[in-house]
Amino acid sequence: MATPPIAPATPDPRNATIGSGKRAVQITAQQVQPPSPLYLQVEDNLICSIYIPTASTPVYVYLMLRWLRPDGEIVSIRKTIPTQVGTITNYPFTLGEGFLLSAAFNPIGLSFNDWGKIYASLTIQRDLPEGGSFFWQLFGDYATTFHYPTWPYGRNIQPQDAAGRIRSITGSTPAVGAEINEVVPSQVRWSLLSFRARLTTSAVAANRKPDLLIDDGANAFYQAGNGNSLTASITWGTTWANTGYAGAASTSADNTAPLAPLLLEPGFRIRTQTLSIDAGDQWQAPQYLVQEWIAV
Partner 1 sequence: MTNTCNSCGATYTPIQRDGSRYFHACGPIPNPAYQPDATQAKFDPRVTIERPNKRDENITGTDPVTQQPIMVSAGLGTTVTTQGA
Q: Which residues bind partner 1 (CB under 8 A)?
A: 53-56, 84-87, 111, 114, 117, 167-176, 178-183, 185-187, 209, 211, 227, 266-267, 269, 271, 273-276, 285
Q: How far is the CB of 273 from partner 1 (least distance, A)?
A: 5
Q: How far is the CB of 83 from partner 1 (least distance, A)?
A: 11
Phi-psi region of 244 (alpha: psi -120 to 50; beta: other; left: phi over 0): left
Asked if 223 contacts 211 with a C-beta cutoff of 8 angstroms, the reply is: yes
Asked if 159 contacts 296 with a C-beta cutoff of 8 angstroms, the reply is: yes
* Residue number with CB closer to partner 1 (11 or 131): 131
d(CA 127, CA 117): 31
* Residue number with CB closer to partner 1 (196 or 271): 271
- Show Cβ contacts of residue 129 under 8 Å, excluding neighbours closer than 6 positions: none
Q: How far is the CB of 173 from partner 1 (least distance, A)?
A: 5
* Residue number with CB closer to partner 1 (42 or 176): 176
* Residue number with CB closer to partner 1 (124 or 178): 178
Identify the helix (H) or strand (E) that includes residue 103. strand 98-107
What is Dmax (Cα atoms) for the chain?
A: 104
* Residue number with CB closer to partner 1 (79 or 209): 209
Q: How many CA atoms lie within 13 A of 104 on its CB side?
A: 14
